[in-house]
Structure 1
């Protein structure tokens, strides 16, 4: 079908030659070749990588477009080519890697090569669920290999620590990943998108490196983000990182609501950063309706008793203190600040900054 609809069109309009190769019969081509066997067609398609000029009996006619089955997906040097189109997506992603490996090879003279994948139409994909299964399998391949093998996702960004954590999660959790209803994005599970945002921000605002600890900001609450505080802390010891569960150690983030309930704990950094991004991104100026309320509530920062109490509860949630009596709640009056060290566990943490949601 592809050969019939492509070959005559590109020959007449652009003067390009097309060939088709399958594993069962000799190919066909619009080029003037006496032989159309596999070796001849591939040599005319990729003459530099296959050293066509060294063979006197090899035709010197170029083939510009090659349509083929998986019979050419292994053991071929076709790096003259710079554009590969997959019209069928094999259920085994390694096959797709093998195909791309024919042109993504040492010795390529091309500055850029490109892979294009044609997925099934929506109706067919709903029936066979191919896209989800292949993307999921590719994700598994990527996590268990070198970290840069995913050729289905152009924005793939992975690292060894992330894959190690995910593999551990797969080992401990009983889940049939192939039965998931949608493909998994590495960006959904990892933190690379936030790293990229941070690098871009630091590039534009290098002064952030000299910012003092303890700074705060105030943002409006939303339906998914109730009034409360997000504390960003740094731990001074390894004792609180129970079972090495916190991938951000020594840094800890806890989102605690005004009523003392933990909205998002320190073991969910992706969910926490998603909330922080939602609350803060795009807001470059102070918001009067919320910071004025905060200033009034704290008497312009002189009375931080409520937030000291919430800080204690946040630290308690990290060090897994069971009884409220283990935490001094700082309910007294007067000028109380975060400089007080009466909270159990506070000596183990340094307050980097906090985000007040109002």
Structure 2
């Protein structure tokens, strides 16, 4: 195993089910798993102990155990402790997407129990106002549930974060949504608006993506909430120009050296029975081979872009993923997508 540069090992599985069926789901590629939390935790500890024993200071850890926080309080506490010990990020956020709807007293207890363990804030994503949101979350009364939950969170001194997706079909009600959030939710430290990622089920809804002109013409009451990096967002034609100006070294994929293990019912026995070195050696080899199967960024930009498109994308990988999908329609290729950043 020869990786001298910094790299990230990302271990994930689909343990906790999601109660939502969001039409823009980013996690649809991760299949539900029947492995137990104890087995998942054992795998995390196995790789962490390997990192320490081999003094792999260049290795960082990420791990994720499911679609939502629909775990009991004991498992939540165990996961929190595991992140404190191992992870690169801590479980300070209570992501509300996909948790089961509860009555007022039950959600208050749910929040309070997790606050007592160490969580500091809630995070909720809104697709629009009222029934607009419920349509995209594909869940009855979800809009009101999120509002009520964040209102209760503030009452018990939790901080709130609000994330809002920019969608064509919900655009006209954005001012009303912002007004409702302002009136109903306190302790809001962040309220931001941004386009959907090009990943998961959102790939099907490019018609919902705004153009640069639409974003520029947003009312100031909405525009002030655009995420702070909005000046780096680019239209498709601007992303083409961006790629053309890149140096050759900057066009090489895997600069971030992100390697993913998705634990599931089929591979858990292999992961448990083989050494970390053998597993990582195989993972690195397969990942590099997978990227090498794919056309270079420059070819995708020149042949599979729409240089007349004014639709806005936040990241290069959003844009590259769309170009790759166009390429694959013409050139079907069998590759391990989940090993790449195209697997989002």
Specify the TM-score bucket, using the shorter chain as the normaliser.
Answer: under 0.3
TM-score computed with the length of structure 1 as normaliser: 0.25
TM-score by length of 2: 0.26
Whose helix proportion is higher, 1 or 2? 2
Asked which structure has the greater CA Rg, the reply is: 1
